[in-house]
Amino acid sequence: MRVLVVEDDPDLQGQLAASLAREGYAVDRAVDGEEGEFMGATETYDTVVLDLGLPRLDGLSVLRRWRAEGNLVPVLILTARDAWHEKVQGIDAGADDYLAKPFRMEELLARVRALIRRAKGQAAAELRCGPLVLDTRTGRASVDGRPVPLTGHEYRVLSYLLHRKGQLVSRSELSEHVYAQDLDRDSNTIEVFVGRLRKKLGVDLITTVRGLGYRLEEP
């Protein structure tokens, strides 16, 4: 899963990016509103963490432009603690959730997980498919209770397929959600990750649709 962080404070931006990366997300960063607006309009993200007090273009304007263009990416806005009017304006502009500064990183991560689940039509923190369980809170996977160790890229591929359970997902789509912007996105390596996942899971859950992509289905 891929997240965009739009935050001009370098310390907070670094903390956000590091925490999200530890949770298994591919993370892109923007330091001002213009850069963030462009990245959100031209790249594919599963959610965006958007500060409202940005230089060059404020966060509300960024959000309004995305929504006017039909961009429905889930957005968590960051506001000043006492700026209740910013929260109202943000929600009215199309934000999906908000968090007041200062905040605990654990709460932000929980809200990001919830936004992604809702956007993908999932209700629970544990994603299931037959004997496979992936706990998005801990990043741990298991099959029939047996722990399945995953690399970062394997986790992102499996998480995305589970969020899209039963749906056809192309290799290019997987690539867009597995890699951050500054990495070389070779969709052919997706085959390698899927092959490794099949071996590690030990159950036939990932179906290859020749020439189109993959589908994760109940056995």
Q: Where in the chain is the domain with CATH 3.40.50.2300?
A: 2-119
How many other C-beta atoms are found inside a 10 Å radius of the C-beta of residue 99?
17
Distance in angstroms (rounded) separating the CA atoms of residues 63 and 57: 10
pTM of the model: 0.85
Instruction: Tell me the pLDDT of the chain (219 aa) as tens digits.
Output: 899 999 999 999 999 999 999 999 999 999 999 999 999 999 999 999 999 999 999 999 999 999 999 999 999 999 886 777 888 888 999 999 999 999 999 999 999 999 999 888 887 889 999 999 999 989 899 999 999 999 988 999 999 999 999 999 998 889 888 888 765 666 678 889 999 999 999 888 999 998 899 999 987
Find out if CATH 3.40.50.2300 is the number for domain 2-119: yes
Q: What are phi and psi of 40, to 5 degrees?
A: -65, -25
Q: Where in the chain is the domain with CATH 1.10.10.10?
A: 126-216
What is the architecture, at CATH level 2, of domain 126-216? Answer: Orthogonal Bundle (1.10)
Structure tokens at 214: 């993959």
